[in-house]
Structure 1
Amino acid sequence: MGIYSEKYDIYSSSRLTLMTDLRKALNDDALSLVFQPKFEISSGKVIGLEALVRWIHLENGFVPPDQFIPLAEETGVINELSLWVFQEAIRALVMLRAQGYDGSMSINISARDLKFKYFGAQLLKTLKTENVSPELVYLELTETAAMDDPAFSIATLDKLAAHGFKISIDDFGAGYSSLSYLKGLPASEIKLDRSLIEDIKNDENSKVIIQTVIAMAEGLGCDLIAEGIEDAQTLKVLEKLSCNRYQGYYGCKPLPLDRLQRWLEQAGAISSS
């Protein structure tokens, strides 16, 4: 006999209330985005931004994304949420490009989004409205999500890539993907999970693993970016291993758009507004 846990029951009263509140937050425009830069290690240049959704609940305060996003997936709200994030991120990209920003925008999507028939059309409609090229947009999908239904994922991602979207495999190394399926994905970027990076300063085995993944990414024609970098020493090790892109608090933490603009101005990545 299993032990009941409300945490895993999507019909529990607390989760149903949270689901209702999430729908209301979407309708009331009560969600927000923060943006975390991606860097080129050799030059320190900002090469991209990742949009991340945040929810400050009126009563409960900050609700972690790993709490409300799975709930959105389980209850069918995820497509509406993903589309909202996409639209807001593209509007931010338009604003920043008007100030001279020349990098990309990365936007997280769910495996459930891929199953929605008109998902690609929704994204393209937004880009057409905002006059943005799909080639400026990375669609990030976790390694585990991409392998949820490999054949379907590959076929759907192929269609998105054919329109010009860049496909990024997030949290690589944290999941269980088969390399035979991975090589079939139309990925332009692979993001190394922080679990592969955290011991790299002192552990030779970690370095060997990273070198292997770097060689694999090069063979697949993918850019490789290391996630969760928090110190200069780790960055130096990665550069010696020929990993030339990173993201993490060492470079910049996620920032709301107004603070991001000021940060980018100081970094010389955009002109003064």
Structure 2
Amino acid sequence: MVDFITEISRQPEPLAALQGLMATNGLELAFQPKFRCLDGAIAGIEVLARWPGARYTWQQPEYFVRLAEQQSLSPTLDLQVLTKTQETLHALPARLRNALGPVSVNVSAHSIMDEEFMTDIKRLFSPTKNSNIHFELTETASLFCLKRACEIFTTLSRLGISLSIDDFLQGYNTLEVLDALPAKEIKIDRKDIARMHERAGFRRVAAMITIAKQKRLRITAEGIENEGQWSLLKSMGCDFCQGFWLSPPLTVDELSALSESMTLHRPQ
């Protein structure tokens, strides 16, 4: 992926298109529910950035997000996603917002360490708004000063923003990062979930769940593709799961309908 991103970052079309899309605040949002393993209830949502009408490979999020990171556009992109997330969710009825639970948004280490971005975040969020936001620290960039990052996340916690370590033990999201930061959750990457049927893969996932339990952290598994994975993770003590088998990313209207449906059919 790195070689591909490096190559397309040299091409004028993808970068110019991304800059143009961001200039018009044109990125769309999708919402993927997170489900509680204990009873299958919705226990949060992850907000995902989407390129409207994407036709090319470089318009897929795993590529344009990395391109933004390489071109120092992450603070602008992340702020746009966070702002649009706030606007979208605040337009929902309070009852529905409460039913959906915590909202997770991917944020790059480049953004976290950017002073202007942090100033904008303090304007966007406040202790009185009861934000209940999780910043999922992505694994593709380094926090060059963990001590400073710890201070930043401690400040964010006063705004109702908690830290989730996305794709734990992938890329830069090492055990050292977890030990240094005031995280509340770790997330198991879909690549690890896909290898759970192998002995080494099972042991790796089990070890991550053990680490989370020892540190009293919530743990979410991503990329659930079948009932077998869901059942196994439940038996292993995983707290939350998300993936296409449980629910694909949804529009806000689809998310509202799903939440209403699950509320209506919940046992009394």
Q: TM class, shorter-chain normalised?
A: 0.7 to 0.9
Bigger shift: residues 210-219 or 164-173: 210-219
Superposed CA RMSD: 2.6
- Give the 3 Å change call, closer, same or farther, for CA 164–99 of structure 1 in structure 2: closer
Whole-Å separation in 2 of the counterparts to 1:122 and 1:140:
18
Overall identity of the aligned pairs, in %: 28
The C-alpha deviation readout for 1:162-203, integer Å capped at 9, x for no partner, is 433110100113235542442121111100012222232x33
Alpha-carbon distance between aligned partners in 2 of 1:137 and 1:253, rounded to the nearest angstrom: 21
CA contact (8 A) 2:34 2:42 kept: yes
Code of the residue aligned with 1:125 in structure 2: it is R
Aligned residues: 260
Cα displacement (A) at 1:258: 2.0
| 2:43 equivalent to 1:47 | yes
Matches within 5 A, 1:117-266: 117-128=115-126, 132-134=129-131, 136-145=132-141, 147=143, 149-175=145-171, 177-200=173-196, 202-266=197-261
Q: From the CA coordinates, give the structure whose radius of gyration is larger.
A: 1
1:97 to partner: Cα distance: 4.9
Is 1:98 equivalent to 2:94 in the alignment? yes
Partner of 2:110: 112
Deviation, structure 1 residue 249:
0.8
Q: Using the alignment, how far apart are the partners of 1:210 and 1:10 within structure 2?
A: 34
Distance 1:241 1:263, change over 3 A: same
Change (3 A) 1:194 1:264: same
Q: TM-score, normalised by structure 2?
A: 0.86
Deviations 1:110-135 (A, max 9, x none): 11101211323312322349x6323x
- State the partner residue of 2:79: 83
List alignment gaps of at least 5 residues for structure 2: none
| Higher share in strand | 1
Q: TM-score, normalised by structure 1?
A: 0.84
Residues 1:192 and 1:260: Cα distance change in structure 2 (over 3 Å): same
Q: Contact between 2:46 and 2:104, CA under 8 Å: does it hold in 1?
A: yes
Per-residue deviation, 1:99? 3.9
Matched, 1:34 2:30: yes
Find the aligned partners of 1:176 and 1:18 in 2 and give their Cα distance: 26
Q: Distance in 1 between matches of 2:193 and 2:62?
A: 21
* TM superposition shift of 1:8: 1.8
For structure 1, list consecutive stretches of 5 or more residues without a partner in the other structure.
none
